[in-house]
């Protein structure tokens, strides 16, 4: 028999304190006031929508869909319908899938890693592997290399021209990159299969580059090889641009490719560009394709704190590392504001997502059918931002982000470091700018500099003076920053986006043998990272970042190992990607752009 524990003095004091609380502060009634405010605002906006919905102008609706999310119809080739049908029959075959898998396996086995510190071509032997990769492509795709004009750009950049019969038509450009993220040897034991083995387990192809981005490159070449085998000759010129250092910012590859293409086709000489990007996902029961119509900027900032060194047995009140830690903590405590403005792509994405998410209670569906009306108000856009806050990718799409990626200070355990520094990577919001990031550093760090009496210099300008022996310098960590990309037009009258949307729908439906061709919804999205298209802005106003890959129920690129261990792609996804590019080329050939 065990006696019940008796409350001791500490327990009695706790109970007494609880009993002295007002009833509204009782632990059982404690309220998350922020959550309550969010709930109240949400209900108010929904009530506003419910009350005013009968008075919404008719031009905001289109067959039950909001005007800003009007969907393009499924688009299939008409003049080349017979050829397209035959191509689809071949793509459906088991032998075609196995050959596609083999093409990607062999590509993965060629270790085309690109590193941040690579020297010029001809000086750094690590570039030579791309010569092997080009030789492999020439052997694997004989029709492509006997029918298309290939121009090496800066040695390893590959620029193909598939000349069309009508030179008056602007060409389309399909892009991908040959290089892959390096594999850290310390992670090798974490890989299920060796990263450059290209292992196929009957369902997935494993290895570095299998998804990012050799699958796109192999899909493009496989589609063209297939069309050439069927005797297709294009009316509209098709261009291919394959960079070789996208993972290291594209200075040697895409930058030179862009200059060459512009010299041949001129400013805005390309009808549309499709490069790597997001795919399609099952979000809340709705199948949603999200081609990126813009991408965030990128900015690396270096923070350095300097001061006197000395013996660690006689430390000052503050050290360089201590002050740097305080600075970094202050920055993380004040993240960039997250607001969905009217012109932000996430606003357009919400208009497509909200009325199609099947997990929304049916009683709210009539209200959520009119987000175009609601999203005219910043308050409603803030509510949408709250809804998205728990989805990591969506949350990262809106504000400028900050990631402290590198820190260094000190060389010995008993010596005070004279300098300590950190590098912070920013992905700059598409509604912000590099100058706005600089201003934020000045605003947040100026009070800290004054607190410690430190001279403070930011981006080449003296911000504050001080008499302290310590100093603070904020500067560019790299030679280049990238501003956010221009927005590609997505209105119903903008033919390139409609062609892309219709091709996505047709590919999705045909691959699954569906009768309902509108099962997938296409919504404009954005890339939180940067692609080779950062150099292609002058070539076309219509740039889309899209892989026709099924990404499951979470729009998380790392889910299939991109930039980490165990990268893979499903064989069925690879085959569907080939079908997509086959359909896209044929659709672009017979539609106005």
Binding residues for Zn(2+): 177, 212, 247, 275, 563
**Structure tokens given for 449:** 């500099």
Angle (nearest 5°) at CA 508 between 137 and 393: 85
- Sign of the dihedral defined by the CA atoms of residues 585, 589, 591, 593, in that order: positive
| Interatomic CA distance for residues 385 and 375, integer angstroms | 11
| Interatomic CA distance for residues 482 and 492, integer angstroms | 30
Comparing CA positions, the residue from 150, 391, 369, 156 lying closest to residue 250 is 156
CB 265 within 8 A of CB 241: no
| Interatomic CA distance for residues 386 and 378, integer angstroms | 12
| Interatomic CA distance for residues 133 and 111, integer angstroms | 9
> Whose structure tokens read 């709250």?
386
246 is catalytic: yes
Note the maximum CA span of the chain: 96
CB 321 within 8 A of CB 413: no
| Interatomic CA distance for residues 576 and 554, integer angstroms | 19
179 is catalytic: yes
Whole-angstrom distance between the N-terminal and C-terminal Cα of the chain?
Answer: 86
Using only C-alpha atoms, the chain has a radius of gyration, in whole angstroms, of 28
SS3 label, residue 53: helix
| Interatomic CA distance for residues 564 and 583, integer angstroms | 32
- Pick the catalytic residue: 68, 113, 225, 246? 246
- Pick the catalytic residue: 68, 113, 179, 304? 179
SS3 label, residue 196: coil
DSSP state of 6: P
Residues annotated within the binding site are 177, 212, 247, 275, 563
**Structure tokens given for 47:** 């009530």
DSSP state of 119: -
**β-bridge pairing 292-295 and 525-527:** parallel
CB 156 within 8 A of CB 130: yes
**Structure tokens given for 484:** 């956010």
Give Cβ neighbours of residue 497 (< 8 Å, ≥ 6 apart): 72, 291, 293, 488, 489, 490, 491, 524, 542, 544
Distance of CA 300 to the CA centre of its chain: 17
- Sign of the dihedral defined by the CA atoms of residues 189, 194, 196, 199, in that order: negative
Beta partners for 300?
A: 425
> Whose structure tokens read 């310098």?
473
| Interatomic CA distance for residues 400 and 309, integer angstroms | 36
CB 560 within 8 A of CB 568: yes
Give Cβ neighbours of residue 507 (< 8 Å, ≥ 6 apart): 548, 576, 579, 580, 583
**Structure tokens given for 561:** 């190992």
**β-bridge pairing 272-283 and 204-206:** unpaired
> Which residues are known to be catalytic?
179, 246
């Amino acid at each position: 028999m065990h006696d019940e524990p008796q409350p001791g003095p500490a327990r009695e004091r706790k109970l007494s304190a609880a009993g002295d609380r007002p009833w509204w502060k009782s632990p059982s009634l404690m309220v998350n006031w922020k959550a309550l405010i969010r709930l109240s605002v949400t209900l108010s906006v929904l009530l506003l929508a419910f009350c005013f919905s009968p008075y919404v102008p008719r031009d905001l609706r289109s067959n039950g869909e909001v005007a800003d999310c009007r969907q393009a119809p499924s688009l299939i080739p008409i003049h080349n319908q017979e050829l397209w049908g035959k191509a689809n029959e071949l793509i459906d075959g088991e032998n075609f899938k196995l050959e596609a898998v083999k093409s990607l396996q062999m590509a993965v086995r060629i270790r085309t890693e690109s590193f941040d510190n690579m020297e010029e071509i001809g000086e750094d032997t690590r570039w030579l592997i791309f010569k092997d990769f080009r030789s492999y492509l020439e052997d694997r795709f004989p029709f492509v290399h006997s029918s298309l004009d290939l121009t090496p750009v800066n040695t390893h950049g590959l620029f193909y021209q598939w000349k069309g019969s009508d030179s008056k038509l602007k060409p389309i450009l399909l892009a991908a990159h040959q290089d892959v993220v390096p594999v850290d040897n310390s992670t090798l034991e974490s890989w299920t299969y060796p990263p450059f083995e290209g292992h196929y387990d009957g369902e997935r192809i494993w290895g570095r580059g299998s998804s990012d981005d050799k699958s796109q490159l192999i899909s493009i070449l496989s589609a063209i090889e297939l069309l050439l085998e069927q005797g297709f000759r294009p009316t509209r010129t098709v261009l291919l641009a394959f960079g070789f250092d996208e993972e290291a910012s594209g200075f040697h590859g895409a930058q030179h490719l862009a200059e060459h293409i512009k010299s041949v086709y001129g400013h805005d000489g390309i009808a549309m560009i499709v490069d790597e990007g997001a795919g399609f996902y099952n979000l809340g029961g709705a199948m949603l394709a999200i081609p990126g119509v813009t991408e965030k900027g990128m900015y690396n900032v270096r923070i350095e704190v300097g001061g006197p060194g000395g013996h660690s047995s006689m430390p000052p009140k503050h050290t360089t590392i201590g002050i740097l830690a305080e600075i970094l903590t202050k920055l993380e405590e004040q993240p960039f504001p997250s607001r969905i403005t009217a012109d932000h792509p996430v606003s357009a994405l919400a208009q497509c997502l909200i009325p199609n998410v099947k997990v929304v209670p049916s009683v709210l569906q009539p209200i959520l059918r009119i987000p175009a009306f609601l999203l005219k108000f910043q308050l409603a856009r803030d509510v949408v931002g709250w809804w998205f806050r728990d989805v990591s990718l969506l949350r990262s799409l809106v504000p400028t982000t900050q990631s402290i990626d590198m820190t260094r200070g000190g060389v010995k355990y008993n010596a005070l470091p004279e300098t300590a520094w950190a590098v912070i990577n920013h992905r700059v919001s598409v509604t912000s700018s590099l100058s706005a990031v600089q201003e934020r550093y000045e605003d947040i760090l100026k009070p800290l500099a004054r607190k410690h009496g430190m001279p403070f210099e930011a981006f080449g300008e003296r911000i504050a003076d001080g008499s302290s022996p310590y100093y603070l310098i904020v500067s560019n960590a790299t030679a280049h920053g990238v501003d956010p990309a221009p927005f590609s037009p997505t209105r119903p009258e903008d033919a390139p986006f409609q062609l892309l949307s219709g091709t996505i729908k047709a590919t999705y439906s045909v691959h699954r043998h569906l009768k309902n061709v509108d099962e997938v919804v296409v919504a404009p999205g954005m890339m939180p990272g940067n692609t080779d298209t950062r150099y292609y802005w002058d070539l076309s106003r219509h740039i889309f970042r899209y892989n026709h890959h099924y990404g499951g129920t979470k729009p998380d690129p790392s889910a299939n190992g991109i930039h980490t261990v165990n990268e893979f792609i499903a064989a069925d996804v690879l085959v569907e990607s080939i079908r997509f590019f086959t359909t896209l080329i044929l659709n672009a050939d017979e539609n106005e752009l």
